[in-house]
C-alpha cells in the first residue's frame, strides 16, 4: 500500500480493515501464527500512516477473544503513532455488499 504509485498520491479520510487474518497454516505452532498476524497488522499500520489525511482514521474490526487477544492490536497501533479512539460493535449492515470470507483451508469460501 505505502509504495503503490497511485495510492501514495491519494490521502484518505478513513482506511478500514475488517477482520485481518493471514490465513491458517497447519504446520505453524500457535506462537508462529500469532507472529504472522502481528506482522500483518504492523505492516498495515506502517503503510497507512502516510496515506491518511491529517485527521484521518484507521478502523480495524477485530475479535477480542482467544487467540485474537494475543495479537495486541492496540499496542501495535500505538507503536506506529495511532491511538484507540473508541470501540464499537461491528455492524455488517454498515457495509453493503460485505461478505466475510474464510480462506487457506478445506472450509475456505
Using one digit for the tens of pLDDT, what is the confidence trace for 1-57? 767 888 888 999 999 998 787 777 777 788 888 898 899 999 999 999 889 999 999
Which pTM does this prediction carry?
Answer: 0.80
Q: How many CB atoms lie within 10 A of CB 71?
A: 22
54: in domain: yes
Of 21, 108, 17, which Cα lies nearest the Cα of 60? 17
Return the pLDDT at 105: 59
105: in domain: no
- Give me 107's grid cell: 472450509
Number of compact structural domains in the chain: 1
31: in domain: yes
Return the pLDDT at 27: 76
55: in domain: yes
Using one digit for the tens of pLDDT, what is the confidence trace for 67-108? 888 889 999 999 999 999 999 988 889 889 888 776 655 566
93: in domain: no
Amino acid at each position: 500500500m505505502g509504495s503503490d504509485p497511485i495510492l501514495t498520491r491519494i490521502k484518505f479520510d478513513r482506511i478500514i480493515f475488517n477482520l485481518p487474518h493471514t490465513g491458517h497454516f497447519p504446520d505453524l505452532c500457535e506462537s508462529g501464527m500469532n507472529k504472522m498476524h502481528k506482522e500483518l497488522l504492523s505492516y498495515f499500520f506502517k503503510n497507512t500512516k502516510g496515506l491518511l489525511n491529517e485527521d484521518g482514521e484507521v478502523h480495524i474490526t477485530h475479535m477480542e477473544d482467544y487467540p485474537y487477544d494475543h495479537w495486541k492490536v492496540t499496542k501495535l497501533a500505538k507503536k506506529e503513532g495511532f491511538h484507540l479512539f473508541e470501540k464499537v460493535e461491528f455492524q455488517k449492515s454498515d457495509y453493503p455488499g460485505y461478505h466475510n470470507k474464510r480462506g487457506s483451508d478445506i472450509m475456505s469460501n
